[in-house]
Amino acid sequence: MTFFTSWPVERADQQINMKQLLAFTKKEFYQVIRDKRTLLIMFGLPIVQIILFGFALTSEVKNVHLIISDNSKDVNTLQIINKIKASPYFSVDESVMGYADIEEAFKKGTVKSALIFPSDFGKDLVHSGKAQVQIIADGSDPNTAKTIVNYLTAIINDYQAQLSPAAGLTYKIIPETRMLYNEEGNGSLNFIPGVMALILMIVCTALTSVSVVKEKELGTMEILLVSPFKPFMVLISKAIPYLVLSIANFTVIILLSVYALDVEIKGSILLLFMESALFIITCLSLGLLISNVTASQQTALLISMMGLQIPTLIFTGFMFPLENMPWIFQAISKIIPAHWYYLIVKSVMLKGLGFEGVWKETLILIGMTTVLLSVALKNFKIRLS
């Protein structure tokens, strides 16, 4: 008999839960929309950040992995290669690679630059005093790419000057540069994924944690706890409005990037949105976790800002190249969710890769989110203190 009687009771319970969730979400929306300051932070921040980061930062490079494809194999190319090998900026890889292999290596991100000598480089140089060489650099990181190109050009020019007086002739080597993925060397391209990671991090983490802690401060959390509302539902209903707002926010950033900064989105927009939604959930979980351990809005804000924003800025890799960092910092960067999101956005947005190109990063992000969310839900106190 109990089977028959318990079923409708359970159902009624679930209906109440849905209604409660809806009422709570509605309440959160009212609160956010009426709070002008929060709204300003939420939608003003992306605009300001994007404009600020428009001034790209210069970066130094060291030990760049350079692929040299020598199709001429003559005395001149050998001399140039030796010169490059002698410089501290490059670690040279003389593997024989075709153009297609090089392109593949670039896509994987294992190679940042390549130098290609055409098959008749030496012949041209000796006979007509004029030869061409191709430099390819990964333009999705334009600062590094430009530096690489400049160094290589300088070395070639140096060799050219060395050669000329000895033969009494003027030799001319013309480097033909090509930036892969970002032909014009558009600086905005590189920082947009970074700014996206940064903004989503701030908005989701700080605002969620503050809004939960605010309930504790106001004493409304006591009422919510002493109600039929299940404690973890409080967290869920807090997360929903911020998920929606963050996606709206993300759309604003994308529109700004495309129309104000002329960034072309190479990959699938849908994939980009899905990955971003995943990252937003990661940040929300982090925000809920922070709200569990803090008792005042100031502390929550401070932890979100100092504890998360700065590591995001440093370890994501969009401001300071991670390759130049000591191994310990590189290791730290691996546990920062924003780092993986940054890699995903770069691949999808700038390189036009599909899901098969970012599944590993996505999986790592999903793993991190699951851990954070379950810890947040498990730690949510059903009582005070």
Interface contacts to other proteins, rule CB under 8 A? 16, 19-20, 22-24, 26-27, 30-31, 34-35, 218-220, 222-229, 382-385
Least distance between other proteins and beta carbon 269 (Å):
35
Least distance between other proteins and beta carbon 294 (Å):
18
Quick one: 378 or 383, whose CB is closer to other proteins?
A: 383
Quick one: 170 or 227, whose CB is closer to other proteins?
A: 227
Least distance between other proteins and beta carbon 39 (Å):
12
Cβ proximity of 64 and 89 under 8 Å: yes
Least distance between other proteins and beta carbon 238 (Å):
13
Quick one: 224 or 322, whose CB is closer to other proteins?
A: 224
Quick one: 100 or 384, whose CB is closer to other proteins?
A: 384
Quick one: 208 or 362, whose CB is closer to other proteins?
A: 208
Least distance between other proteins and beta carbon 210 (Å):
14
Quick one: 225 or 243, whose CB is closer to other proteins?
A: 225
Least distance between other proteins and beta carbon 15 (Å):
9
